Amino acid sequence: MARDPDTIQAEIERARDALAVTVDQLSVRANPKRLVEQGKQTLRATLEDTRVKIAIGAVGALVVLVVARRLFR
């Protein structure tokens, strides 16, 4: 059974529109500036966590102790 050319054309146009929408979404998702900004926000949120602050402080204190120990030996 042969398909109607108008139906085929309509399907092609719908597929083209769907592809255009998908390409637009991908270009927004893959925008380097947006990715960098999202990374900065994630890092800021992580660094504001109290547990992370305590861990960074503990590591810093350990480094200070190791350096002081090596200096005074």
Mean pLDDT by 10 residues, the chain (73 residues): 84 95 92 93 94 95 95 88
- What pLDDT, on the 0 to 100 scale, is given for residue 2? 67
Cα atoms found within 13 Å of the Cα of residue 7, Cβ hemisphere only: 3
| pLDDT at residue number 73 | 83
Return the exposure string of 8-38: e unless at least 16 CB atoms fall within 10 Å of the residue's CB, then b.
eeeeeeeeeeeeeeeeeeeeeeeeeeeeeee
CA–CA distance, 20 with 4 (Å, rounded to integer): 25
Q: Which two tokens stand for residue 63?
A: 């480094």
pLDDT at 3: 81
